[in-house]
Structure 1
Amino acid sequence: MEGVSTQGVLSHLSLLEVQARSRKCQPQQPSRVKELKAKAEALRVQKEQLKAEIETHKNLHKLRASMDNQCTNEEEEKEEEEMEVDSENSQLLRLMARHTQLKDLLQAHHIIGGYNVVKTRQGKGLCVSLATAYEGVYLETYNLELDLKPRLRISRHNLPPFIPLSSLAEQSSMQTDMRTLLDPLSRHLNAFAGRKQQLKLVKDLHKSVEVMESNVLCSLLVLMFTVPKEKTAVLCSLEYTDHTRCLPTQVSFDCNDKKLPDSPEWKKSHSLLMETPVHKALTNMRKMGNIV
């Protein structure tokens, strides 16, 4: 009897345990409803945000069309009435439209290689501006005017006469790709501007260094140094045979002390002048004690 009673109690406890587990597995109806309501609210907010974004893009598209087509004041006012936005939102949209317009212009500017191009003579010609810069400083800007018909050709320019424009044009495929002319031309102009700026910096920063000779292309530069200890004068010749670079292709020293150019200190000076801009190389040479 005791065994039967014990078995009955255990069966009852097992049943209760199964029922308890069953209740835990069943979702709580109130919490489930609350969860669905929160999800519905989040979807509603997302829907409103999407509607606002779509409306903003529509308004931006209208403003961009207005700006690109240079609408009259009456047409612009009509566009504003159709948008039905207050003045503050209207100004914000205009700023956003202007921002996208400038981004498109910058992208187009990048596509054409960063050159400023404007139409001339009622679309019969183009004027390309080629700006030069060195070490982050903008220098001279040169202009190249081209005729479009009957075929593309250079009509006028203000480039220095020693820039080989004719040979660059002959070597290019300018009829199908203008950048085959503009890119090498820009390299020539920027290299010349860089060499010219280096010469100016030498004169401004290194008063003890005498410029003995230079030419208009700045492809030849002869400097005179003074060695501190011996007070020996040293002539330094820098030749820039590659006119698309700012660094020399050959550097030579000349002085009474024939052993000086072969010394370790002046071999290092030779490397500096070959590998760094001349005004910076002179600063390092002074720090090394090679020149006054």
Structure 2
Amino acid sequence: MDPGKKEQEKDEKKDFSHGLLAHLEWLEFRARREAVDQEKRERREERREFLLSKIRELRERRHRLREKLGEAGKAGILRVPKDPDPPDPREVLEWKIRSCRDLIRIFRLTGISGNFSHSGISFSFHTSFEGSFLDSFQLEFQEFRHFRIRRHSIPPFIPLELLCRRFLPRNLREFLGILFQHLNAFVARREQLRQLQEEFSEFIQGIPSQNSLFNLLSFRYRIPGKIPGEFPEFRARLLYRDPLRSLPSDVTVTTPAGIAAPPEHSELFRSLSLAGAFRALRNPRNLPESPAGIG
């Protein structure tokens, strides 16, 4: 078979796979946007129902107070009305259960699912990257009053206790959303490194260095230069300051001699996944001439 025809078929398959990934990313984005819009509408409706019930309650109290004041005026005695009775604990518990069911329905499109049990409620966080589903993490609460955690499979470097102190028990929705962002960003950073080592092993020099959270990554790589047969070496250091994002905030790329690499290297690492950046870097036509000292 003609080598040129093989290369053309290979490029067409890559274009198809890239288009499919882009379509899957668009579908995921649309689902998340619809879930957010649905959540906003339900919040407005809940707020409206709460305010209407509060107005009705205040009007009834005002009516009762007027009646009591009128009776006291006729009798010549002013009686102080009693405070309203505290809410029934059973009614409060039922309200929390209904709220949890609503949360489960809202989060279903965003990668979070939930189930009720005889002892409480459990949530599953289904992470993904570029349209591919990856790890799932579990979190179980033992009761509804204070949402105490019974058991979980959240990695120890995720700030679970800090999030609990910050959001629970008052704001379960915010707690679940931010915890899912932590988990999804961690898995996405880890998956990027796996893809880099698997797809571009011939360009990576040695073994990349990373920490357990995958928010600090350093590696050495060689890419084709402008001159045929030239493969300059670079050293990259990527720091992810925002734990909720899968792209680095600080990128440093230099040569072994300490000379700064062309700025296109850093910009690609900041704006694309690691595999996407290397797909652009391995084509020397995308880059300017190598600076002096790179060999």
Question: Which TM-score tier does this pair reach, normalised by the shorter chain?
Answer: 0.5 to 0.7
Length-normalised TM-score, structure 1: 0.56
The one-letter code of the counterpart of 1:180 is E
Give the CA deviation at 1:155: 1.6
C-alpha RMSD of matched pairs (Å): 2.5
Determine if contact 2:224/2:284 at 8 Å carries over to the other structure.
no
Percent identity among equivalent residues? Answer: 26
Check the 8 A contact 2:116/2:122 in 1, yes or no: yes
Preserved contact between residue 222 and residue 237 of structure 1 (Cα < 8 Å): yes
CA offsets, 1:236-259, max 9 Å, x none?
111112111000011101324555
Corresponding residue for 1:176? 170
Deviations 1:90-116 (A, max 9, x none): xxxxxxxxxxxxxxxx99754245421
Separation of aligned partners in 2, 1:202 and 1:240? 17
Instruction: Give the partner amino acid of 1:221.
Output: L
Picking from 205, 208, 216, the partner of 1:220 is 216
> What amino acid is the match of 2:237?
S
Aligned residues: 180
Tell me: CA distance 1:169–1:233, structure 2 relative to 1, closer, same or farther (3 Å): same
Indicate the residue corresponding to 1:205 in structure 2.
199
DSSP 3-state at the match of 1:213: strand
1:249 aligned partner, one-letter code: S
Q: Could you tell me whether the CA contact under 8 Å between 2:223 and 2:281 is conserved in 1?
A: no
- Unaligned 5+ residue runs, structure 2? 1-100, 291-295
**Shift of residue 154 of structure 1?**
1.2
Is residue 241 of structure 2 the alignment partner of residue 275 of structure 1? no
Structure having greater relative contact order (Cα 8 Å, sep ≥ 6):
2
Is this contact kept in 1: 2:114–2:121, CA < 8 A?
yes
- Change in Cα spacing, 1:255 to 1:145, as seen in structure 2 (3 Å) is same
Q: SS state of the match for residue 274, structure 1?
A: helix
> Judging changes above 3 Å, is the alpha-carbon distance between structure 1 residues 287 and 107 closer, same or farther for their aligned structure 2 residues?
farther
Report the counterpart of residue 248 of structure 1 in structure 2: 248
Q: Which residue of 1 aligns with 2:190?
A: 196
TM-score (norm 2): 0.56
> Take 1:227 and 1:108, find their aligned partners in 2: how far apart are those partners?
48
Q: For residue 151 of structure 1, what is the amino acid of its counterpart? A: H
Which one of 141, 148, 153 corresponds to residue 146 of structure 1?
141
Q: Which amino acid aligns with 2:250?
A: Q
Instruction: Determine which of 125, 130, 145 is the counterpart of 1:130.
Output: 125
CA-CA distance at 1:119 after TM superposition: 1.5
Matches of 1:228 and 1:136 in 2, distance apart?
30
Measured against aligned partners, the alpha-carbon deviations of 1:22-49 in whole angstroms (never above 9, x if no partner) come to xxxxxxxxxxxxxxxxxxxxxxxxxxxx
2:116 corresponds to which letter in structure 1? Answer: K
Cα–Cα, structure 1 residues 227 and 281, in superposed 2: closer, same or farther, change >3 Å?
closer
Which amino acid letter does the alignment assign opposite residue 267 of structure 1?
Answer: P
For 2:215 and 2:197, how far apart are their aligned partners in 1? Answer: 16
- Unaligned residue ranges in structure 1 (runs of 5+): 1-105
